[in-house]
Amino acid sequence: MPPDMWNLYAMMFKSRCFEEAVRQIWKDGQISGEMHLGMGEEAIAAGIVSQLIEGDALALEHRGTPPMLMRGVDPVALLREFMGQPDGLCGGMGGHMHLFAPEKLAASSGIVGASGPAAVGFALAGQMLRPGTVSVAFFGESATSQGMLMESMNLAVVWKLPVIFVCKDNAIGITTPAYMAVGGDLLARAQAFGMKAFEVDGADVAAVWLASEAALRHARGGGGPVFLWAHCIHLEGHFLGDGLLDMLRRPLYSFRKRIWPMMKGFFRRGGAPWNERLASLRQILGYVVVAQAQTARQNDPLARTRPALMTENPTRLGELENAIRHETGQIMATSLQARGSEI
pLDDT per residue of the chain (343 residues) written in tens, 0 to 9: 789 999 999 999 999 999 999 999 999 999 999 999 999 999 999 999 999 999 999 999 999 999 999 999 999 999 999 999 999 999 999 999 999 999 999 999 999 999 999 999 999 999 999 999 999 999 999 999 999 999 999 999 999 999 999 999 999 888 888 888 898 999 999 999 999 999 999 999 999 999 999 999 999 999 999 999 999 999 999 999 887 777 777 766 665 666 667 677 767 877 788 788 777 777 766 667 777 777 887 899 999 999 999 999 999 999 999 999 999 999 999 999 865 555 4
Integer Cα distance of 271 and 280 in angstroms: 13
**Closest to 198 in 3D by CA, of 172, 161, 230, 169:** 230
For residues 83 and 31, the answer to whether their CB atoms sit within 8 Å is: yes
Integer Cα distance of 109 and 87 in angstroms: 20
The Cα-based distances of 247 to 119, 174, 292, 293, 327 in angstroms read 37, 15, 10, 13, 34
- pTM of the predicted model as reported, rounded to 2 decimal places: 0.91
Q: Where are the beta strands (DSSP E) in 73-162?
A: 100-101, 106-108, 135-140
Per the document, the length of the chain is: 343
> Which domains are present in the chain?
5-233+296-342 (3.40.50.970), 243-295 (no CATH)
Integer Cα distance of 180 and 67 in angstroms: 29
